[in-house]
Amino acid sequence: MNVAKLHEALVSGLSSIVDTWWTDEQAAFPRRMPLEPHEEDLLRWLHEQCEANNLRPFKNCQGHWRSDLLLPSDHPGTVKICEINARYSINAQLLAAYGYQYRTPYIEMFVSFAEQSGRVSAIIIKPVDLRLIRSNNSKTGYDLYCLSDRDCPDMVSTDGERLDRVYQTGLQLFQHELRSIPTDILRHLALHSVNDLRSVLLIHDKRILGVLLQELDSLVSKQVLTAEQAAIIRHGVVPTINPGSPELSGLIDQQSRSLIHKDNYIIKPVRSG
């Protein structure tokens, strides 16, 4: 198995699914992989921003994906992807830079890493410290700011608060924590985040590989993937069966007739790491 070819095929297939999540009525992705209502509202808004050229197409800003690999004992030298983790923006960078120096507080470690790189001045911001300020130069009508005690060129003062302009963010939040952020703030965070919220909510979801496997023939017919790439994905992705799918009905039927053994399968939380 050529891992580079598997990666290329995986990215092409999943990017197409994300880009057509709301427009492919025949595929009906939201029905097959439903999310929380506030998450779907956010994804719809991001789709509208992309169409209005306020947000780059997903293929150009996919964020940080970290695939989990299995090494099959019966096929030495091959790998299979069992899930993709895409919730956090800094995991891969810190592991590459520091390994597992677990004694260092994790978020503080990233701030140190950013400062040592000499290119980024990073600070830790709590969601409660974020503010929106009206701006005639912004396509959304607002710019994102945060409470700050630093001296910086973009410092403004409003309602007795010193605010610093936010240009880029890396969200280190669980999905349920996104719900506690006001909608207008969350939308602007999504426009500035290096870990794209479409990756956080769709690619990180463990059901997405099941959707991809179901869509392979369609992606080939649309010329998104070649037949060779579809075959690479079939061999390189662990079979993933989603709730409510025809594959699950078939699995239950096989189990009831003792054609398979339940211990050959695992049940996985679809939103966890």
Q: How many domains does the chain have?
A: 1
Average pLDDT over all residues of the chain? 87
pLDDT of residue 217: 98
Higher pLDDT among residues 74 and 25, named by residue: 25
pLDDT tens digits, one per residue of 34-68: 999 999 999 999 999 999 998 989 988 888 888 88
Amino acid at 204: H
Whole-number percent of the chain with pLDDT over 70: 89
- Decide: 43 and 83 in contact? Cβ < 8 Å: no
Residue 169 pLDDT greater than 70, yes or no: yes
Rounded mean pLDDT, 120-149: 88
Could you list the residue range(s) of the whole structural domain that residue 15 is in? Answer: 1-88+177-273
pLDDT of residue 104: 58
Whole-number percent of the chain with pLDDT over 90: 50
pLDDT of residue 49: 94
Q: Is residue 111 part of a domain?
A: no
pLDDT band for 223, please (50, 70, 90 cuts).
very high
Lowest mean pLDDT of 15-19, 29-33, 116-120, name the range. 116-120
- Decide: 91 and 48 in contact? Cβ < 8 Å: no
pLDDT band for 138, please (50, 70, 90 cuts).
confident
Higher pLDDT among residues 258 and 110, named by residue: 258
Q: Is residue 169 part of a domain?
A: no
Spatial distance between the Cα atoms of 60 and 74, rounded to a whole number of angstroms: 37
pTM of the model: 0.86
Closest by CA position to 89, among listed 194, 223, 182: 194
pLDDT tens digits, one per residue of 102-127: 555 656 666 776 677 666 677 888 89
Q: Is residue 126 part of a domain?
A: no
Pair of tokens at residue 183: 């909608």
Q: Is residue 247 part of a domain?
A: yes
pLDDT of residue 131: 94
Q: Is residue 39 part of a domain?
A: yes
Residue 191 pLDDT greater than 70, yes or no: yes
Q: Name 160's bridge partners.
A: none
Q: Is residue 13 part of a domain?
A: yes
pLDDT tens digits, one per residue of 70-95: 988 888 878 899 999 988 866 655 55
Q: Is residue 54 part of a domain?
A: yes
Residue 170 pLDDT greater than 90, yes or no: no
- Decide: 196 and 62 in contact? Cβ < 8 Å: yes
Instruction: Give the Å distances, CA to CA, from 139 to 53, 60, 143, 166, 167.
Output: 9, 20, 9, 15, 14
Q: Is residue 187 part of a domain?
A: yes
